[in-house]
Amino acid sequence: MSTLLEMRENLRNFYSKYEVYITPVLKFLLALVVFLMINNGVGYMSRLTHIIIVLMLALMCSFLPTNFIVIIGAFIAILHMYELSIEAALVVGGVFLIMFLLYFRFAPKDTLVVALLPLCFILKIPYVVPIAAALLGSVTSVVSVSCGVIVYYMLAAVRANATTLTGMEGSENMIARFRLLVDALMADKQMMVTVVVFAMTTLIVYFIRRLRVDYAWTIAICCGCVFCAIAMLIGMLRFNADMSTVGIVIGTIVSGALGMVFQFFFFNVDYSRTEYVQFEDDEYYYYVKAVPKNNVTKANKKVKKITSVL
């Protein structure tokens, strides 16, 4: 255990020392992955899929606030939709506009949630995002989690109906194309189930980890994983959603393990050394519960050089 704690402290010290260099690199890599994912999923405008364009946009995002990754990613997606059809661009742009109004109003600091959730869907571990957002964020993280789910399923719905959209040419089919896209979104039972379950999982994990009980984070992670798996399975059976039972179970187990990793790095405490302190002032009595963090003191090695005098 001490070895892991020392490794954690070394990582923290390394990041704090070189933060000015590490943060832009991480933002560049995140933006690059997000833009490549969008181009791979809905790359209808070939000019935007050129690697030079992607690298330039990712490099620009490395020097801008993190929110610009989501904004530029949305702009790229809308341009791809415009290449497919004007109706697709209007529908996707309208959804992004509503999402941004909610996102920047309630959860402007949760950019990583919106950007990483579609990627986690591709990696088959999306269940880790609501758990991590609730552990490290606030109650408003529900908005960013829901937005990330909607973005993934919206782009997937457009991709699934791309062939039908291109076959319905002509201005007389404009209303039909609008209806096709809106119906595809509204009738997506899997998206509806996922949005509700992820939002409730985020709330459950957040409120449990805020409780003043021992091992609150561990209990929150376990309860969140169990609830998420059961709720997803019930939703799949109730609405006949196309989901994999094995994928849900394995995904929640992996997400729980990753949640424990987050706890180790961000909330690693020693409940066995808990202290209760009582003191008072002129107006109040104070009862304080103090839980020490699990830290390790790096050994201070001194090398003494001995030279012989002849």
The overall average pLDDT reported for the chain is 84
pLDDT tens for 77-135 read 999 988 888 888 888 888 888 888 877 777 777 777 888 888 888 888 888 999 998 98
Average pLDDT over residues 9-17: 83
Residue 30 lies in a domain: yes
Alpha-carbon distance of 129 to 120, in angstroms, equals 8
pTM of the model as a whole: 0.83
CB hemisphere CA count around 52 (13 angstroms): 1
Q: Is the pLDDT of residue 174 over 90?
A: no
User: Is there a contact between 247 and 262 (Cβ–Cβ < 8 Å)?
Assistant: no
d(CA 188, CA 196): 13
* Residue range 193-228, pLDDT digits in tens: 899 999 999 999 999 998 888 888 899 999 999 999
Count of the separate structural domains present in the chain: 1
Average pLDDT over every residue of 58-76: 90
Residue 268: pLDDT over 50: yes
Question: What is the pLDDT, as a whole number, of residue 25?
Answer: 93
Average pLDDT in the 244-257 region?
A: 87
The token pair that represents 157 in the structure block: 């719905």
pLDDT at 29: 92
Output the pLDDT for position 157: 86
- Rounded average pLDDT over 276-286: 85
What pLDDT, on a 0 to 100 scale, did the predictor assign at position 211?
87
Mean pLDDT of 306-310: 57
Residue 296, domain member (yes or no): no
Domain residues for the domain of 159 are: 2-290
Assigned domain for 286 exists:
yes
- pLDDT given at position 53: 92
Question: Does residue 87 lie within any of the structural domains?
Answer: yes
Q: 277 in a domain, yes or no?
A: yes
Residue 310: pLDDT band (50, 70, 90) is: very low
Whether 182 is in a domain gets the answer yes
Q: How confident is the model at residue 303 (pLDDT cuts 50, 70, 90)?
A: low
Residue 297 lies in a domain: no
Tens-place pLDDT, residues 137-168: 888 888 889 888 988 888 888 888 888 777 77
SS (H, E, C) 163-213: HHHHHCCCHHHHHHHHHHHHHHHHCCHHHHHHHHHHHHHHHHHHHHHCCCC
Residue 29, domain member (yes or no): yes
Cβ contacts of 264 within 8 Å, gap of 6 or more: 4, 8
Q: Which pLDDT score is estimated for 307? A: 63
Instruction: Give the DSSP per-residue string, the chain.
Output: -HHHHHHHHHHHHHHHHSHHHHHHHHHHHHHHHHHHHHHHHH--SGGGG-HHHHHHHHHHHTTS-THHHHHHHHHHHHHHHHHH-HHHHHHHHHHHHHHHHHHHHH-TT-HHHHHHHHHHHHTT-TTHHHHHHHHHS-TTHHHHHHHHHHHHHHHHHHHHTHHHHHHS-SGGGHHHHHHHHHHHHHT-HHHHHHHHHHHHHHHHHHHHHTSSSTTHHHHHHHHHHHHHHHHHHHHHHHHT----HHHHHHHHHHHHHHHHHHHHHH--B-GGG-EEEEEE-SS-EEEEEE--B---PPP-----------
